A and B are shown apart, each in its own frame.
Chain A
């Protein structure tokens, strides 16, 4: 139990000639919440997708519970079962009810009996106030509800780590709070999480650490109070000023 929940060592990733990640080092202790901030295009999504092995890294290591997930012969499906990811655009399956969306992973990837998966799904839906939506199709739900269902769908796999990629960016302002509440509850419940976000106020609130991604590296990281009030690096300062100017802190 002394292992870090997640550790990235000098992770590199390029798309063709575009080098997006240029040596990322990042460590998450168990139950830790890290907010990943950075300008649009800085590589936040790419980093999260690499951890979930949706993208293959070119160099470096990603250790989940001390095991290298990018090593040869590792079952990527097994890794993905332990790392939940939620996307900005929800990406629910439109042809399935809420219940089937949530049960697909547990039943088809984990081999859980359907009744058990449904029980698990209902439990989670109840916890997040969505039980009455169990048989609805995604297009009947509001954006906030869809995103909460997407979070529940990831949680139903009982992941060790959750990766949330700007999960409130696609939402109307009045729907943001209900999704943040869910994330807050997860944080309080001890979930290990990386939170790519533009919601600086929220990041400050629930993250133990903030990491600023800039030009393919983590330029600066530390407790939110320090990063937000006394950033060491001029580029961090400039980024935060722009955010403040945009009224998001």
Chain B
């Protein structure tokens, strides 16, 4: 309803014909889309690669943060400092700093491509968020589960690995997918340090054609992959809720 009303307002606005010409030009779209789509594969590569490292690294951070006792205080403090730092700095800045700063160091044996450092920046930033998601999951597992595992003679580590983490991860899959959607979108930020991905390409096309349609083409590509993932997330949340209610009525 609201959507239709809004659409009507837009279409009937005085500037609409002009906007339509510069944002929804079929010819420009046809011209630019194939190359943008090809470059979009670079975005896909970046966020898939980043996601793999994020899932592992963030879990590591979360586990460090949940270590008990005074002995592990320094490690816990480090993990906290890490998450605070990288949730605090705007993602764009981390990408700029690493993308331009790290290659300038000219370190031996370390890649200096913007793609590499862009992905590293995304991994660092998103791991801070995802670690918090994992931690919430770990803390949601009742202590009696650990007591149960330990009472069977399992070590602390094995109790974590076989009893706590499987339950924790299962519970946080929906928020993990949410962060993954955010990551997909933020892969466009790599354009800022000169990675020739879809958004960068659309900037070039836009400048060349004096027309903004390439941006719309890029937006469509992002939406095309986030929508299915968003639906999967909804479905998982609904399923989880259904299960919870079934338990409640028992």
Contact = CB atoms under 8 A, between A and B. Distances in A.
Interface of A: 49, 52, 54, 77-78, 80-81, 84-85, 87, 89, 91-95, 104-105, 108-110, 139, 153-154, 157
Interface of B: 144-145, 147-155, 158, 162-163, 166-167, 170, 247
Contacts of A89: 144
15 contacts: A54-B150, A77-B150, A80-B153, A81-B153, A85-B151, A91-B144, A91-B145, A92-B148, A93-B162, A105-B152, A105-B154, A108-B154, A109-B154, A139-B247, A157-B153
Contacts of B247: 139
A51 B162 CA distance: 24
A104 B144 contact: no
A108 B156 CA distance: 12
Nearest to B170: A95
Contacts, number: 60
A95 B167 contact: yes
Nearest to B161: A108
Given A85-B151, A93-B162, 8 more contacts: A77-B150, A80-B150, A84-B151, A87-B144, A95-B170, A104-B149, A104-B154, A109-B154
Given A81-B152, A109-B153, A157-B153, A104 B147 contact: no
A44 B29 CA distance: 75
Given A95-B166, A95-B170, A139-B247, A153 B144 contact: no
A77 B167 contact: no
**Pairs of residues from A and B, 7 with the lowest C-beta to C-beta distance, nearest first:** A105-B152, A109-B153, A81-B153, A91-B148, A80-B153, A77-B153, A85-B151
A49 B146 CA distance: 13
Contacts of B148: 87, 91-93
Nearest to A153: B152
Given A91-B145, A104-B162, A52 B167 contact: no
